[in-house]
Amino acid sequence: MLEVTPIACLQDNYAYLLDDGSGELAVVDVSEAGPVRDALKRTQRKLTAVFATHHHHDHVGGNEEIAGEHPGLRIHGYESDRGRIPGQTDFLRDGQTLTWGKSEVRALHIPGHTMGAVAYVLGDAVFTGDTLFLAGCGRLFEGTPAMMHRSLNDVLVPLGGGVRVFCGHEYTVGNLTFAASVEPDNLAVRERLEKSRAARSKGEPTVGSALAEELATNPFVRCKSPAIRDSMKLDDRASDVEVFAALRKAKDSFRAPK
């Protein structure tokens, strides 16, 4: 089974160290070199691959420094991010599979947050960058609501409820606070919020939860919910994309009560 170690970076980012038992290591999103370097020092295995989910600096800022320390390192990203991801060596297409170590890696194009966003599927794990967060989704910096809705609901959700989700930031408590505000009678949201607050109070990450939890608690994949539609002042005549767009706009200006 793939071993995934979250690496806290910057203020609230995660990089991920991947070990599939092959003797090779990979990192998803080298946000900054220092914490990744420290994690690598604790193992004798060789870093051979970096998987970048998108071009934003807080996800690729350490690429060139790490690449300089690991000759032959392959840095993967989506093909349309050519020139935007530092040190990129491999330009992936939607649905492309590649071999790293003894693992098959599948790249899924998930535009919305950025046009070149890509998720990586390895076994029962998916690395979603800033597209799917736990109980939330990323802001629409380059894409449209329709793009992001499709990326979440038509590309990522069908991966199955047992898939473990590893996203780019520790935003879970804030996302669940928003979820509770738009679907106040959702018991699963309240329970997950309590659980996430407890984990954070102990300094533990929330990432790596099952995709099934998103189906129960993430408003951005629950656009058919009558309660959410009521909160957005939309009825059953509104499309799911219209509900999604209203949710994203509301989340952009949401401030949790103190």
- Is the Cα torsion angle 60, 212, 209, 223 positive or negative in sign? positive
Rounded CA gap, 250 and 117, in Å? 23
How far apart CA 144 and CA 139 sit, in angstroms, is 10
SS3 content of the chain, % helix, strand, coil (to 5): 35, 25, 40
Q: Any idea which residues carry the catalytic annotation? A: 54, 56, 58-59, 113, 130, 169
Q: Is 250 exposed, middle or buried (0-12, 13-18, 19+ CB in 10 A)?
A: middle
Say if residues 40 and 54 touch (Cβ distance below 8 Å): no
DSSP conformation letters of 41-90: HT--SEEEEEE-S---HHHHTTHHHHHHHSTT-EEEEEGGGTTTSTT--E
Which pair of structure tokens corresponds to residue 26?
């990979």
Question: How many other CB atoms are there within 10 angstroms of residue 38's CB atom?
Answer: 10
The values of phi and psi at residue 67, to 5°, are: -60, -35
- Find the largest Cα–Cα distance for the chain: 58
- Rounded distance between C-alpha atoms, residue 85 and residue 63, angstroms: 8
